[in-house]
Structure 1
Amino acid sequence: MSKRLLAAVVTVMLAATGCGAGQDSADGPKTLKLWHYEPPESAMGVAWAEAIKQFEASHPGVKVAFEEKGFEQIQKTAPMVLNSKDAPDILEYNKGNATAGLLSKQGLLTDLTDEVAKRGWDKVLGPSIQNTARYDESGVMGSGKWFGVPNYAEYVKVFYNKDMFAQRGIEPPATIEQLTAAMDKFVAAGVTPLAVAGAEYPAHQLMYQLALTKADRGWVDRYQRYTGKVDFHDAAWTYGATTFADWVAKGYLGKDTAGLKAEDMGTSFIQGKYPIMVSGSWWYGRLASGVKNFQWGSVPWPGMTSGSAGNMWVVPKGAKNKDLAADFIAITLSQPIQDKLRDAGGVPVVTGATPPADPRLKDLVDNFTTLSNEDKLAFYPDWPAPGYYDVLVSAVQKLITGTATPSQALDELVKPYAENLANLGK
């Protein structure tokens, strides 16, 4: 770790323990109302539970009132709840134009720019991590004011069942061609290769992953940051949709996956029913604790991949305890909490000097560092427009069931995207 980064981390840790303590004076005991949607057994759930303990220990008389919310629940109700007296002091929220960007544009989030500078968070978090924390006046990410603080990182990669690969003499795939060849061998042996879920994010992320193999940074920025015209029938989008439909036709994934959710996908891979799962680093902790009967590993997705800083802490505009919220954020960015997150299977945004002991975990962290340094993080396909998540789910489900052609599925992406641009005056 460089001296500059070490100094910044020390600043963060000092800020975590210095401000806001002893809030049980004239006003009586205080409560920090916290919402997040990380399961207790997940890396982030483990880390935030420890952060709560440290917060309460360093803030006598202040209690954390934590409520676990569902991801979909917060996604759909945040604009209404944050504009009411029931708003929390701090909550975990999804990043991107369609979520945090929209709330910042609506005036529902606190501008954290001065707090970030005061506590040195802009020195701790690298440029690629900052992209998803900053939004301009139109709610477009990548520049402008800080409306959130990322607390972990994530990216999509290829998880595989080492035993099933070894039984058929298949090497871990490093290219799309090798991945396709591996899946052909599994299909020939009567094994469906891919664990997929069409009713939630996994299937449309996979289609986007395929498009990314033909994309570059300019393509991503045009789509995600509105830097130029988007053609949903260009070579990359067409390859993504056509190849996805082709994979369905070849039996790489089952048509019954159209109705499955992400949890179904992950559970089936953990049970050893499928040899391959293309999904996010957020599954690492579940796999490490849940897989009992086989060896597993992971390899990077070839080329650019979905990924970014993870979800982030935001402070509602009407929060009653903004100083305490900032103190809690500082604790989650401290080295002990970031190391705890890492050791539980998460990807930290603050990297310590001592690497993890588990080689799989070291690869998980090192791969993200490489992707970030090489500018290969392409965010996520549902970010550009409000409600786009449901649009993508529907379109890709139709590719799985065969009720739409690749061209027809891509047609469904055009209108909502254009309407969002019109709303932004672009």
Structure 2
Amino acid sequence: MRKKMLSLLLVAAAVIMVVAPQVSSTAQAQDQRTLKLWHYESPTGAMGKAWDAAIAKFEETHPDVKVEFESRGFEEIRQTAPMILNSDEAPDVMEYNKGNATAGFLSQQGLLTDLTDVAVERGWDQILSPSLQTTSRYENGIMGSGPWYGVTNYGEYVMVYYNQDMFAANGVEVPTTLDEFEAAMQTFVDAGITPLAVGATEYPAQQIFYELVLSQADRDWVNAYQLYQGDVDFHDAAFTFGAEKMADWVSKGYISEDATGLPAEDMGVSFENGDFPMMISGSWWYGRFMEEITSFEWSTFLFPGNALNAGSGGNIWIVPTNAKNKDLAYDFIDITLSPEIQSILGNEGGIPINADLEQIEDPKIQELIANFNTIIADDGIAFYPDWPAPGYYDVLVSGVQELIAGTMSPDEMLDFIADPYFEYRDSLDLG
């Protein structure tokens, strides 16, 4: 009996020795926290490289935390955000588009964490200038004031990218007025070259339309349209000019009708390949072009003659209401705003808002930042055309596509985009 009892004890001890490490390992795994992070920046772009550096810095400063990063497409996040953020699958921190129609709308739905106290405690309100805070703060879904529902950490604006080699070969000078711009495009058309690379299945074409509208607008016009601080007439001089001028550009061959079937990516690649002398789009392409364009010299200029340009603080980091590790999300946002990461952003072709500018030496990047600072100094930021209402992005894409295709007249197109705007605006309690 004694031997039998001893054998049982030895077996039990062996079982404990085998099981004990497994239990400890399981407990350790359960103790490890995870930061779930989504963004849609290209890995070769300035923001993508900066956020990769921020992730590495976060892992260095949080050795017991696992970072679970997922790259999600811009369109995917734009279309599925309300559903994802309303589920248990919401990430802890996510890049999201700013504006009334996107972040403002989600804030109204209770899907975003109010970051106001965190912004003050961590000094984000001191890093971001008042103009850059516009897209981080929303009151009843309208940007510009109220609680912080997101944090931007870079600037962006729309400009004209141009192929310097093609300009030189065709004797074209950089234009400074709209008339000179049209004369330059006509020179290319006369040489059998379509001047503008355009993608109309996504944002680029509507931003060209908006730049043309802004050429006839002022700050009061922008505030009325974007912030609902005044009356809006879609058949006023600015809107009419933009629609008629864009149709005119198509008829003259400045924009190809084939643009109706091209996405933004194809537009950018066609410019990279030297197929077009110009492309009107945002600063988010800048870093990528610095790395990928090797067969010709290129540069940029602001939309000729405009005092106002599409642009803003960059897309924002949001923390979903359903996020499981909000404190980790705040730490990550902090890191992206640090001078170390901001300087990386700048050196890779982005527009930093908190960089050590002495660390940025590339003349191209200095030019990029200087143009943005010029816009900011002249109160020239006019946001983006799709911001005023939820779903308005798709309305503008469709309307501008029809305008380019010639299946809608300028008046018909303006009526088409007016109705959804007023339907949403009239639904708001504007006091």
State whether TM-score is above 0.5: yes
Aligned partner of residue 416 in structure 1, secondary structure:
helix
How many angstroms does 1:26 deviate by?
A: 11
2:233 is matched with which residue?
231
State whether structure 2 residue 116 is matched by structure 1 residue 126.
no
How many angstroms does 1:228 deviate by?
A: 1.2
State whether structure 2 residue 105 is matched by structure 1 residue 78.
no
How many angstroms does 1:422 deviate by?
A: 2.4
Q: Which runs of 4+ in 1 moved over 6 A?
A: 24-27
Q: Which residue identity lines up with residue 183 of structure 2 in the other structure?
A: A
1:377 to 374, 381, 384: 381
Aligned partner of residue 297 in structure 1, secondary structure:
strand
State whether structure 2 residue 203 is matched by structure 1 residue 201.
yes
How many angstroms does 1:351 deviate by?
A: 3.4
Q: Which residue identity lines up with residue 156 of structure 1 in the other structure?
A: V
> Using the alignment, how far apart are the partners of 1:139 and 1:320 within structure 2?
24
The residue correspondences of 1:334-345 to structure 2 (distance < 5 A) are: 334-345=338-349
Do the aligned residues in 2 keep the contact of 1:94 with 1:311 (CA within 8 Å)? yes
> Using the alignment, how far apart are the partners of 2:44 and 2:234 within structure 1?
39
State whether structure 2 residue 429 is matched by structure 1 residue 425.
yes
> Using the alignment, how far apart are the partners of 2:248 and 2:280 within structure 1?
17
1:308 is matched with which residue?
312
Aligned partner of residue 199 in structure 1, secondary structure:
coil
2:322 is matched with which residue?
318
> Using the alignment, how far apart are the partners of 2:348 and 2:309 within structure 1?
23
Do the aligned residues in 1 keep the contact of 2:49 with 2:348 (CA within 8 Å)? yes
1:210 is matched with which residue?
212
1:327 is matched with which residue?
331
Q: Which residue identity lines up with residue 395 of structure 2 in the other structure?
A: V
2:54 to 51, 55, 59: 51
The Cα offsets for residues 161-180 of structure 1, whole Å up to 9 and x where unpaired, read as: 10111112211112211111
Q: Which residue identity lines up with residue 114 of structure 2 in the other structure?
A: D
Q: RMSD of the TM alignment (CA)?
A: 1.3
The Cα offsets for residues 11-39 of structure 1, whole Å up to 9 and x where unpaired, read as: xxxxxxxxxxxxx9996110001011112
The Cα offsets for residues 240-264 of structure 1, whole Å up to 9 and x where unpaired, read as: 0000000000000111111101011
Do the aligned residues in 1 keep the contact of 2:44 with 2:291 (CA within 8 Å)? no
1:166 to 165, 168, 172: 168
2:420 to 390, 412, 416: 416
> Using the alignment, how far apart are the partners of 1:258 and 1:83 within structure 2?
34
The Cα offsets for residues 58-97 of structure 1, whole Å up to 9 and x where unpaired, read as: 0121011001111111111111111111011110010000
2:105 is matched with which residue?
102
1:259 is matched with which residue?
261
Matched residue pairs, number? 402
Aligned partner of residue 162 in structure 2, secondary structure:
strand
Once structures 1 and 2 are overlaid, which stretch shifts more, 355-364 or 220-229? Answer: 355-364
Do the aligned residues in 2 keep the contact of 1:154 with 1:310 (CA within 8 Å)? yes
> Using the alignment, how far apart are the partners of 1:60 and 1:264 within structure 2?
40
1:187 is matched with which residue?
189
> Using the alignment, how far apart are the partners of 2:103 and 2:215 within structure 1?
27
1:367 to 356, 367, 371: 371
Q: Which residue identity lines up with residue 34 of structure 1 in the other structure?
A: L
> Using the alignment, how far apart are the partners of 1:100 and 1:115 within structure 2?
18
> Using the alignment, how far apart are the partners of 2:28 and 2:348 within structure 1?
37
State whether structure 2 residue 267 is matched by structure 1 residue 274.
no
Aligned partner of residue 279 in structure 2, secondary structure:
strand
> Using the alignment, how far apart are the partners of 1:99 and 1:25 within structure 2?
39
Q: Which residue identity lines up with residue 375 of structure 2 in the other structure?
A: L
Do the aligned residues in 2 keep the contact of 1:355 with 1:362 (CA within 8 Å)? no
The Cα offsets for residues 385-423 of structure 1, whole Å up to 9 and x where unpaired, read as: 111111101111111111111011000111101111122
> Using the alignment, how far apart are the partners of 1:375 and 1:199 within structure 2?
30
The Cα offsets for residues 79-123 of structure 1, whole Å up to 9 and x where unpaired, read as: 111111101111001000000000111111110000010111111
Once structures 1 and 2 are overlaid, which stretch shifts more, 250-259 or 24-33? Answer: 24-33
> Using the alignment, how far apart are the partners of 1:72 and 1:127 within structure 2?
29
Do the aligned residues in 1 keep the contact of 2:32 with 2:65 (CA within 8 Å)? yes
Q: Which residue identity lines up with residue 54 of structure 2 in the other structure?
A: A
How many angstroms does 1:355 deviate by?
A: 5.5
| Identical columns (%) | 57
Aligned partner of residue 108 in structure 1, secondary structure:
coil
Aligned partner of residue 56 in structure 2, secondary structure:
helix
Q: Which residue identity lines up with residue 352 of structure 2 in the other structure?
A: P
Tell which structure's C-alpha radius of gyration is larger.
2
Structure 1 residues 162 and 26, CA gap change in structure 2 (3 angstroms): closer
The residue correspondences of 1:29-68 to structure 2 (distance < 5 A) are: 29-68=32-71
> Using the alignment, how far apart are the partners of 1:407 and 1:349 within structure 2?
40
How many angstroms does 1:425 deviate by?
A: 3.0
2:353 is matched with which residue?
349
> Using the alignment, how far apart are the partners of 2:364 and 2:402 within structure 1?
36
1:294 is matched with which residue?
296
> Using the alignment, how far apart are the partners of 2:295 and 2:70 within structure 1?
35
Aligned partner of residue 277 in structure 1, secondary structure:
strand
**Contiguous gaps of at least 5 residues in structure 1:** 1-23
> Using the alignment, how far apart are the partners of 1:158 and 1:69 within structure 2?
27
1:151 to 145, 150, 153: 153
How many angstroms does 1:372 deviate by?
A: 1.1
